Amino acid sequence: MTDYRAHATDSRPSAGLSFTKGHGTGNDFVLTLDPDAAAPDDAAFVASLCDRHRGIGADGYIRAVRSSALPEGRALLQTEPAAEWFMDYRNADGSVSEMCGNGVRVFAHFLLASSVADLPEGGELAIATRAGVKRVTRSHDGYAVDMGPWEFIHPEAAVARGMDSLVEIGGLDVDRPALSISMGNPHTVVALAEAAELQRTELHRAPGVQPVPPEGTNVELVVPSDPLVGDDGVGRLSMRVHERGVGETQSCGTGACAAAAATRFWAGAGAPARWQVTVPGGVVGVTFFDGPDGREHVLLSGPAALVAEGVLLPAG
């Protein structure tokens, strides 16, 4: 097992913390098995851990905590007793996030690799998150997650005008109309006309969104394929994303779901239920289906990989 040094202050209980590094289509995370919620989770520690020059480096930090050890988890166990493990997720800056679509797949893979959960072929693994319980199954390319229902953040404007906000993006001359969608966390989707626009946008700083959703927002820039739908009946689009509290990332699972939902809405009647979303880190699948609650749900599928293990050394 390799040792790594995270430059946290001596007051942070980091020394000796075992961790695993994983990613889903390049969206990378530091994960730790923390059944009793004893590992550090303060913002300063998380930011130092995720720092790509002075820490391990990641888009986010995930603690695998037994649901019974957290108030949010105990609340979910009242109606979802099978959700034994809670995905306690934080962005790279230490801010708490509702959930992460790529992170759920990596989290499930981590639980299986740690031998604390089982997911037989045809089975289902319930995972507790701050956005509710997510159900994971095996897929042909890794894992598939029922992300639950999607919804408009500003439904009246979305239905009436097909947009609800304007977004200022570095590298583009004028503000662009956008559509805000919740996947349990907030997203603002901007459609661009061509790949050249997508390539020249500057996402090293957060785009300006007006009005911005109450909890802030992730911003997805999408270019629909031409033709939009292939001979196989699958819709396709390319995407870049700026994540809240992180910056531009190689991929965003909930963002891919939101991007497909917005593009499908813009396409109108007859738009397909299945989509492929190309991100800088690879390709994920998005499928819309009728959920058991009578609402339209989103299934996210894609790979998950664990690439390293280590133990944090004392600061200094």
- The catalytic residues are 100, 252
Q: Which residue has the tokens 């919740």?
A: 182
DSSP structure class, residue 96: B
Q: What's the CA angle centered on 271, arms 289 and 226, to 5 degrees? A: 130
DSSP state of 104: H
* Closest by Cα among 285, 281, 220, 300 to 22: 281
Cα 294 to Cα 279: distance, rounded to the nearest angstrom: 30
Q: CA 139 from chain center: how many Å? A: 18
Residue linked to tokens 């894992």: 143
Separation between Cα atoms, residue 206 and residue 314, nearest integer Å: 34
Give the whole-angstrom CA distance, residue 127 versus residue 73.
10
Structure tokens at 237: 């689009």
Cβ atoms within 10 Å, residue 48: 21
Write phi, then psi, for 8 (nearest 5 degrees).
-95, 165
- Whether residue 23 contacts residue 56, with contact meaning beta carbons closer than 8 Å, is answered with no
Strand partners, 167: 176, 209
Q: Is 197 helix (H, G, I), strand (E, B) or coil?
A: helix
